[in-house]
Amino acid sequence: MLKSGILLALGTAGLLTACSGNEALDPAAICHVGVYQTASGSIIDLAPVAGADLRWRAFDGQVGRISAGEDGLWSGTTGWTDQPNPARFDLGDCGMTSLTIAGLDGYNGVAERIPLEIIDTEFESDGLTLAGRLVLPVGTEPVPIAVWVHGSERDSARDWAYAQRMMPAQGVGIFVYDKRGTGASQGEYSQDFAALAGDAAMALQRARELAGPRAGRAGLFGGSQGGWVAPLAATIGDADFVMVSFGMMVAPTDEDASEVQLELRAAGYDDEVLDQARQITDVTGRLMASGFTEGQAEFVRLKRLWGNEDWFREIEGEYSGHMLRAGVTGFKFVYLNFIDAGTSWGHDSIGVMNQVDVPVLWVLAGQDREAPPDATRDILLDLIAGGRAIELVEFANTDHGILEFIETETGRESTRYAEGYFRLLGDWARNGELEGAYGDALMVEPAAQQP
């Protein structure tokens, strides 16, 4: 959730920030970007990938990456793996409004591009000019609108956010914008949640203005790090609802601690080691949240006590492993001078959620390693039991992004989105209700409310 903003790599030159991942888009590929519908009503989206490739996302959750072949057909791999996928796409020439699909169950045949109303715009926030885009289904009737509050990535949401097509294809308007310091927006990249929430609130205001009489219920849709920002924005903006996917209800420092626990448990260490590791992440978290003013003596003591243990050397997390290897002084120097983006390490998610007075949908990935869900689930269930209007849904066998996966020798490889995930988002955005089954999704309720 924070890694694309603060991921650190320890090399011979010390601690380095991660690259942004922004790369040029090939005009020959992006002319095909759009959302399409088959004669049977099946929806499939084509999104850009850095370079000349495209990524398709089917409404049922299937996904793959394709590139152009010598025969003029586009084909490639499944999910984010190297496994070949039988799907073949005849995209035709740039400017065509249809494509032909073969080898993809439920989507074979001709698919026509779904027309959308697209309005590019700018809006002001905190003295900065930010670049945004409103995308609406074609028509004149009012539609719900979701403002996409994306995660820690530094890329342009206007270029990369597939939700700007997948949601309008379901009758839901969406407003996407380049976060400050990304894409065409002014300012410096930031992970200051208060600043980002202010930007999101202004984006919501701009979306309502542009939509005019077509604006129905309008709210905020946050993914990953956006799960911290969107609820905060709802406390200062005029939101009708909040949607969060694969976000956390704990502070960012707790994300690091949860990751360390998962990593060491997966490596086979027992509860005694996990308790000792928790003491370490308590201290590294205090150091981060206090701006390195609290916890240094305890950090040194624990490092002397356990520094030679095998488990100690395996600690990673978001930042704890790097701090342990570099020492507080070395880590602090590089972090403050080259990495710090103003991250709100001590963010009070519970306090914020207790101020949110609109309906909330929260979607968890049950096997999420980047945003471990257990503490978030418990907190949300407590809030629900206390009367907060939160609908909690969990896709048990998915990782970050609500992605199903396979385990390989090198780690997890994502294969597809959970069946029902895209439909669930569209249904709830339209009317705040969920009806029927959404694949393997589990509607989670406090024990007292369960039948």
Instruction: Report the alpha-carbon distance of residue 411 to residue 426 in Å, rounded.
Output: 32
Residue 72 lies in a domain: yes
Residue 264 lies in a domain: yes
Residue 61 lies in a domain: yes
Q: Are residues 194 and 271 in the same domain?
A: no
Q: Are residues 202 and 122 in the same domain?
A: yes
> What are the backbone dihedrals phi and psi of residue 80, each rounded to the nearest 5 degrees, phi first?
-110, 30
Contact in structure between 157 and 47 (CB atoms under 8 Å)? no
Q: Are residues 325 and 401 in the same domain?
A: no
pLDDT at 102: 98
Q: Are residues 365 and 428 in the same domain?
A: yes
pLDDT at 15: 23
Q: Which residues pair with 74 in a beta bridge?
A: 68, 89
Residue 26 lies in a domain: no
Q: Are residues 70 and 105 in the same domain?
A: yes
The CATH number assigned to the domain holding 147 equals 3.40.50.1820
Q: Are residues 234 and 258 in the same domain?
A: no
pLDDT at 214: 98
Q: Are residues 92 and 142 in the same domain?
A: no
Print pLDDT tens along the chain (451 aa). 655 333 433 332 222 233 344 456 788 899 999 999 999 999 999 999 988 999 999 999 999 999 999 999 999 999 999 999 999 999 999 999 999 999 999 999 999 999 999 999 999 999 999 999 999 999 999 999 999 998 999 999 999 999 999 999 999 999 999 999 999 999 999 999 999 999 999 999 999 999 999 999 999 999 999 999 999 999 999 999 999 999 999 999 998 999 999 999 999 999 999 999 999 999 999 999 999 999 999 999 999 999 999 999 999 999 999 999 999 999 999 999 888 899 999 999 999 999 999 999 999 999 999 999 999 999 999 999 999 999 999 999 999 999 999 999 989 999 999 999 999 999 999 999 998 999 999 999 997 665 5
Residue 55 lies in a domain: yes
Number of domains within the chain: 3
Residue of 80, 86, 93 whose CA lies nearest to 108: 86
Q: Are residues 105 and 39 in the same domain?
A: yes
Where among 96, 113, 130 does a domain terminate? 113
Residue of 246, 219, 245, 247 whose CA lies nearest to 233: 219
The CATH number assigned to the domain holding 69 equals 2.40.128
Where among 315, 339, 363 does a domain terminate? 339
Residue 24 lies in a domain: no
Q: Are residues 185 and 271 in the same domain?
A: no
Residue 439 lies in a domain: yes
Residue 92: which domain range?
A: 31-113
Contact in structure between 55 and 63 (CB atoms under 8 Å)? yes
> What are the backbone dihedrals phi and psi of residue 147, each rounded to the nearest 5 degrees, phi first?
-95, 120
Q: Are residues 244 and 141 in the same domain?
A: yes
Residue 378 lies in a domain: yes
pLDDT at 339: 87
Structure tokens at 266: 């997966």
Where among 316, 339, 362 does a domain terminate? 339
What number of CA atoms fall less than 13 Å from residue 116's CA on the CB side?
28
